[in-house]
Amino acid sequence: MKMKPLAPECGVEVEGVQLAEARGETLESIKQAIWEHGVAVFRDQELGPEAQIDFARAWGGIDINAYFPLDDRWPEIAVVRKRADQQTNIGGAWHTDHSYDQVPAMGSILAARVLPPTGGDTLFSHMGAAYDALSDDLKARIEDLSAFHTADHVYQEGGIYAQTDQGADLRGHEVRTGATHPVVIRHPRTGRRLLYVNPSFTIHFTGQTGAQSLPLMQELWAEAMKPAHQCRVVWQPGTVTIWDNRTTWHNALNDYQGHARELHRITLTGEPLAA
Ligand code: SIN
């Protein structure tokens, strides 16, 4: 197995491994790489839905997503789909999956199934690199803060997706979420300090209103969105990408109007977060 960086601060491409067979020490090395680099890309994978589920079970538990369409045959798989006639994609803004859960999902395994002829790349940003780049003053200001996260405004009836042509395909309009996390967490496995707020699901700092929180929140987001901390996954048939939701943000680009894109996502169970 060989690994080469996708970008200086984020991501690796892993060669010489089939995920369907990766177990034992190989799986441990893959986990370590994803915890450190945030995201790993695997090309030319033979990983159909059953094999994807088996691999996820070998990694650990599976968290079933409450909102995305499911396929009855494989309820563990959330279908990330944009039909050719739809304008809006899923995940087309910077976010980290499931930060609205008190024990957020560790990460996600996303397998390409249908790809547009060009475009539809996914951007990732490394939250350890973003935290390191903050000024000492900014680090001191966020040291003891926590923040509230929810997905209600995104998925509920009348929420963001309901205003779009994805609304009818999504589920869970009645689900209510809410979680409070430290703004700076330590990665549960590597110990690295990570910025843990994101523009899609983080609403306010604890003890402050949304309006009071916004100026500082925007300073943090501005650092987290800098291209220096990012890497880009260009999908190809057979590509599987696995990321760590604590270490990274991601953003699915919606630049392929008139074409379909479908990927299968399994969300991996995480562990409690701490400062
Ligand atoms: C997601 O946000 O999980 C989907 C990412 C993608 O479609 O590239």
pTM of the entire predicted model: 0.97
Predicted confidence at residue 154, as pLDDT, reads: 85
For residue 122, the CA-to-ligand 1 centroid distance in Å is 7
For residue 80, the CA-to-ligand 1 centroid distance in Å is 7
SS3 93: coil
Nearest C-alpha neighbor of 248 from the set 56, 110, 76, 48: 110
Predicted confidence at residue 169, as pLDDT, reads: 87
Which ligand 1 atom lies nearest to the CA of residue 120? 8
CATH number of 2-268: 3.60.130.10
Predicted confidence at residue 63, as pLDDT, reads: 94
Pocket test for ligand 1, best of 113, 263, 266, 268 (most atoms within 8 A of CB): 263
Return the ∠ at Cα 212 (arms to 210 and 214), rounded to 5°: 65
For residue 252, the CA-to-ligand 1 centroid distance in Å is 5
For residue 141, the CA-to-ligand 1 centroid distance in Å is 32
pLDDT tens over the chain, length 275 residues = 999 999 999 999 999 999 999 999 999 999 999 999 999 999 999 999 999 999 999 999 999 988 888 888 999 999 999 999 999 999 999 999 999 999 999 999 999 999 999 999 999 999 999 999 999 999 999 999 999 999 999 889 889 888 999 888 888 889 899 999 999 999 999 999 999 999 999 999 999 999 999 999 999 999 999 999 999 999 999 999 999 999 999 999 999 999 999 999 999 999 999 99
SS3 42: strand
Pocket test for ligand 1, best of 63, 94, 95, 122 (most atoms within 8 A of CB): 122
Predicted confidence at residue 138, as pLDDT, reads: 98
DSSP 3-state percent helix, strand, coil across the chain (nearest 5): 25, 30, 45
Predicted confidence at residue 87, as pLDDT, reads: 97
| Ligand 1 proximal residues by C-beta, below 6 Å | 80, 90-91, 97, 108, 110, 122, 250, 252, 263, 265
Question: Do 244 and 39 meet the contact criterion of CB atoms below 8 Å apart?
Answer: yes
Q: Hey, where are the domains in the chain?
A: 2-268
Predicted confidence at residue 65, as pLDDT, reads: 87
Predicted confidence at residue 168, as pLDDT, reads: 84
